[in-house]
Structure 1
Amino acid sequence: MKSSEVDAYLGRLGVARPARPSLDALRELHLRHLQTVPFENLSVHLGEAVVLDEKRLLDKVVGARRGGFCYELNGAFAALLDALGFEVTLLAARVHGPRGRLGIPYDHMALRVRTVDAGDWLADVGFGAHSHYPLSWRERSEQEDPGGSFRIAEAGPD
């Protein structure tokens, strides 16, 4: 991502460029993303092509000032974080559906983000209602957040 694209994205979020890829910076970026970029799946209903390459994601989220669904929002956010010096891993995820059943494989995408000062965090700006802040990757007990109580659990090989 070019420096001008980073600046435009940060402008969309209403934040300054962080000095380093720290936990405080990640927390601010995560919250501001949730507050300014909506979850939406209008492209599907409007018959628009959904293309997940970086340029198209930035054109939609930053240029057109729209939202998107998890793959779009977390994909764009991952590109921003990477450009800011965070180490980011894209994660295939599954969502709990009715009666606690797991949805189909790959029905969601989230991010594992490494900070320079506080290790790994689960970031997810593509779910709509979720945690306001990243969740500690290594913590397996309940994590309290303004958005609710969350727990990261090992779910098996799939």
Structure 2
Amino acid sequence: MNSAAYLDRIGYVDSPSPNLDTLRALHVRHMHSAPFENLDIHLKRPIVLNEQHLYNKIVGRKRGGFCYELNAAFAWLLRALDFDVTYVSA
């Protein structure tokens, strides 16, 4: 993961450190920059949930995704920035 490219994609310009203020700012930037969309489902494209595919979709192709895609990609970014990430089901 190129975390600098991901941060650029979401418009985060500060130096990230794993704390609550950074988490809040990253979350807001991610929600405003990587929209919910499910175009691949309607186009009958296969759904691929591996991290590299999601990174390429959201960062490389500047798309959004559906909930599983966005949450997994955001979690990967947070882990790359030294946040502790725990998945929970809802």
Q: TM-score range by the shorter chain?
A: over 0.9
Equivalent pairs counted in the alignment come to 89
Give the root-mean-square deviation of aligned CA atoms.
Answer: 0.8
Aligned match of 1:53: 50
Matched, 1:85 2:69: no
Aligned match of 1:66: 63
Paired amino acid for 2:18: P
Runs of 4+ in 1 over 3 A off after TM superposition: none
Aligned match of 1:6: 3
Secondary structure of 1:9 counterpart: helix
Counting only pairs closer than 5 Å after superposition, residues 9-158 of structure 1 correspond to structure 2 as 9-16=6-13, 17-18=15-16, 20-93=17-90
Give the unaligned 5+ runs of structure 1: 94-158
In structure 1, distance between residues paired with 2:81 and 2:20: 13
Q: TM-score, normalised by structure 1?
A: 0.55
Q: Percent of pairs identical after alignment?
A: 56
1:46 offset after TM fit, Å? 0.7
Bigger proportion of residues as helix: 2
